[in-house]
Amino acid sequence: MNRPIRKAVFPVGGLGTRFLPATKAMPKEMLPVVDKPLIQYAVEEARAAGIEEFIFVTGRGKQAIEDHFDRSYELEDVLRERDKRDLLDAINSWMPKAGQVSYTRQMEPLGLGHAVRCAKPLVGDEPFAVLLADDLILAPRACLAQMVDAYNKVGGNIIAAMDVPREHTKRYGIISPGKDNAQLVEVKGLVEKPKPEEAPSTTAVIGRYILQPSVFRHLDYVQRGAGGEIQLTDAMARMIGEVPFHGLRFKGERYDCGDKVGFLHANIAFALAREDMQKDVAAIVREVHKQL
Ligand code: G1P
């Protein structure tokens, strides 16, 4: 029996320099896609996968995230007075219950591996999930829920995987594949951001992970890797052979919201997926297309 995945870690300490000036005083995770901040999509995805505890690894200037997952009594009062029931529901329906959320700070920007390591005392000795809010996934079934389904069958570590053009390998962790049934691919090796000519495949890691707690032990030993940062990919690479390890080619569309064009793409795609906006937005897209 595989131990259940109850906790999720959200590394949100990054500076968001690619979105300046928007992110000068606002966390990049609060950028909205249509009308919802990126971080809320990630939290809702985790909840849909059965997660009960939400652990944020934050940094300076990230107060807005804590406020977002807290009650706002003034706002609730005003909405109640104005009888705006639907808006009241919208701000409270996804609110975490008392004690379900915790925050810790990554005091130095030493990379994703370091951020995850900061969560060790809060995660303890149990398998857990990691979600990167930059990777937004539009899917019929939440991506992390698909991964939990796979985990319940094969256990060990599961990472979200997607095939990318070879010229993009330097943006991602890349999998060296073993057995591959098109959906589940065995992870035989992992390398962070390889040059296209050196990449062992074009199957990339997307920002969703289910990890065994032994990853923390490895994170203590990995040296600074790609970009001078402590890489989660390098710690995971040390776990190959130690635990079952698979990539899941999830069903759904992934948008890279760490990138301006990807972020705009996500906004259009999510608006088109919404019944209340579909018609108007489709008309605008057609109109813009005519002008090209
Ligand atoms: C991180 C990971 C990388 C992964 C990517 C997915 O990189 O280090 O392995 O492929 O997320 O988005 P980052 O985009 O933070 O540079």
- For the stretch 273-291, pLDDT in tens is 999 999 999 999 999 999 9
Residue 247 pairs in a beta bridge with: 159, 185
Dist. CA 192 → ligand 1 center (Å): 8
* Interval between CA 117 and ligand 1 midpoint (Å): 16
Q: Whose CA is nearest to atom 9 of ligand 1?
A: 173
pLDDT at 149 over 90: yes
How many Å lie between the centroid of ligand 1 and the Cα of residue 247? 14
Nearest protein CA to atom 7 of ligand 1, as residue:
172
Least confident interval from 13-17, 77-81, 238-242: 13-17
pLDDT, tens digit (0-9, with 9 covering 90-100), for 20-52: 998 999 999 999 999 999 999 999 999 999 999
**Among candidates 65, 78, 77, which has minimal Cα distance to 26?**
65
CB burial class (10 A; 0-12, 13-18, 19+) of residue 254?
buried
- Whether the per-residue pLDDT at 183 is higher than 80: the answer is yes
Predicted local distance difference test score (pLDDT) of residue 278: 96
Atom of ligand 1 nearest to the CA of 206: 6
This prediction has a pTM of 0.95
Q: What is the per-residue pLDDT for 91?
A: 83
For residue 227, the ligand 1 atom closest to its alpha carbon is 16
Q: What is the position in ligand 1's atom list of the atom closest to the CA of 135?
A: 12
Ligand 1 is surrounded, with C-beta below 6 A, by 112, 132, 135, 172-173, 192, 204-207, 231-233, 258
State which H helix or E strand residue 269 sits in. helix 260-272
**What pLDDT, on a 0 to 100 scale, did the predictor assign at position 178?**
96
Give 3-state DSSP helix, strand, coil % of the chain, rounded to 5.
40, 25, 35
Instruction: Pick the residue whose CA is nearest to atom 11 on ligand 1.
Output: 207
What's the gap between Cα 60 and its chain centre?
20
What DSSP designation does 17 have?
Answer: G
How many angstroms is it from 125 CA to the middle of ligand 1? 25
State phi, psi for 242 to the nearest 5 degrees. -90, -35
Q: How far apart are CA 20 and CA 201, in angstroms?
A: 33
In ligand 1, the atom with minimum distance to the C-alpha of 134 is 12
Atom 5 in ligand 1: residue holding the nearest Cα: 172
251: Cβ contacts below 8 Å, ≥ 6 apart: 139, 140, 141, 146
pLDDT value, residue 109: 87
Question: Strands, E, within 96-145: which ranges?
Answer: 101-105, 128-131, 135-138
CA angle 269, 86, 7 (to 5 degrees): 65
Nearest atom within ligand 1 for CA of residue 172: 10
Query: Is the model's pLDDT at 61 over the cut of 90?
Result: no
Q: Nearest 5°: CA angle at 46, between 75 and 125?
A: 120
**Residues for the chain: how many in total?**
292
Spatial CA neighbour of 9 closest among 99, 100, 109, 132: 132
Mean residue pLDDT across the chain: 94
CA-based nearest residue to 92, from 70, 74, 113, 107: 70
Burial class of 231 by CB neighbour count within 10 A (0 to 12, 13 to 18, 19+): buried
Cα distance between residue 31 and residue 43, in whole Å? 14
Q: How confident is the model at residue 171 (pLDDT cuts 50, 70, 90)?
A: very high
Segment 206-223 shows an average pLDDT of 96
Q: Best mutation site among 110, 205, 209, 219 for ligand 1, i.e. most ligand atoms within 8 A of its Cβ?
A: 205
Q: How far apart are CA 46 and CA 67, in angstroms?
A: 19
User: Is residue 135 classed exposed, middle or buried when 0-12, 13-18 and 19+ CB atoms within 10 A define those classes?
Assistant: buried
